[in-house]
Homo-oligomer: A and B are copies of this chain.
Amino acid sequence: METHFQKELQQLKEDLLKMAALVEEAINMAVQSLVKTDSDLAKKTFEGEDKINDMELAIDDSCLKLLALRHPMAADLRFITSAMKIITDLERMGDQAVNIAERAISLNQEPQLKPYIDIPKMAEITQSMVKDVLDAFVNQDPKLARSVCERDDLVDGLNDQVFRELLTFMMSDPQTVTRAVHLMIVCRCLERIADHATNLAEDVIFMLDARVIKHHADVKKEGEGNIS
């Protein structure tokens, strides 16, 4: 029979997945508001952020209660303290989605600089990273966590590509500078979300394998080889 503590842990897992789903949704709304020139969608991102912030506080509180009342040991203790770190990252990812939405509102007021192809691609990969790293944590799946780390290179690659393209626009026509800078910030926000997901994935791998993957050179370091 499931104990009360096991039920509480199960609830914690469900809450974590729910919070990650809200972050994914926020990223999607923010980027779609740009792609579809729909500033109302951008405003919905702000409401989504409120929900994410509320969930962070609620989960943090639940974890403190579990620590104070259940005195978990070994793997359960590690799981709960890791959950507390993860929600901090999820909340910061939500902040980045809001930053994207703010840029989308500005960009939507001006003619589109170029067709948005790589940015939705970056967003799609980034969302999959957020989803999968939480699944990897909850289901204790180091292989899935590793695939999240690998996807960070794809995001960095797309980011470099967009950055170079935008630089060309800026150099050939100063009229495009403001829009190009807004778009660079959008890409940087996506890249930071991907960085957060990668950091979490490294923590999951470390937790599961007790291998200090994050401190070795086999995973590309955060921020290497790209700029915006």
Which residues on the B side are within 8 Å of A181 (C-beta)?
A: 227
**Which of chain B's residues have a CB closer than 8 A to the CB of A188?**
223, 227
Q: A57-B212, A227-B188 are in contact. Are A222 and B99 (CB under 8 A)?
A: yes
Chain B residues with CB under 8 A of A185: 223, 226-227
Contacts of A81 in B (CB 8 A): 63-64, 67, 81, 84
A192 in contact (CB, < 8 A): yes
Q: Is A77 an interface residue (CB 8 A)?
A: yes
Docked CA distance A52–B85 (Å):
18
Please tell me which stretch of A90-98, A108-116, A117-125, A136-144 contacts chain B, meaning at least 4 of its Cβ atoms lie within 8 angstroms of it.
Answer: A90-98
Q: How many residues of A contact B (CB 8 A)?
A: 44
A56 to chain B, nearest CB (A): 9
Is the pair A99, B227 in contact by a Cβ cutoff of 8 Å?
no
| CB <8 Å contact, A215 and B171 | no
List the B side residues contacting A171 at CB < 8 Å: 170-171
Residues of B within 8 A of A84 (CB): 81, 84-85
| Closest B residue to A98 using CB positions | B221
* Contact residues, A171-200 vs B (CB, 8 A): 171, 177, 181, 184-185, 188-189, 192, 199
| Residue of A88, A98, A102, A223 ringed by the most chain B CB atoms within 10 A | A223
Shortest distance between the CB of A37 and any CB in chain B (Å): 22
For the complex, what is the distance from the CA of A96 to the CA of B88, rounded to whole Å?
A: 19
**In the complex, A107→B192 CA distance in Å?**
24
A96, B222: Cβ atoms closer than 8 Å: yes
With A64-B78, A81-B84, A170-B167 as known contacts, state yes or no: A99 contacts B224, CB within 8 Å.
Answer: yes
Within the complex, which residue of B71, B203, B223 is in contact with A99, where a contact is CB–CB below 8 Å? B223
Interface residues in A192-228 (C-beta closer than 8 Å to B): 192, 199, 203, 212, 214-215, 221-224, 226-228
With A53-B212, A185-B227, A192-B223 known, 19 other A-B pairs at CB within 8 A are: A50-B215, A53-B214, A53-B215, A63-B81, A68-B74, A81-B81, A81-B84, A85-B85, A92-B222, A95-B222, A96-B222, A99-B222, A99-B223, A167-B177, A170-B171, A181-B227, A185-B226, A188-B227, A228-B228
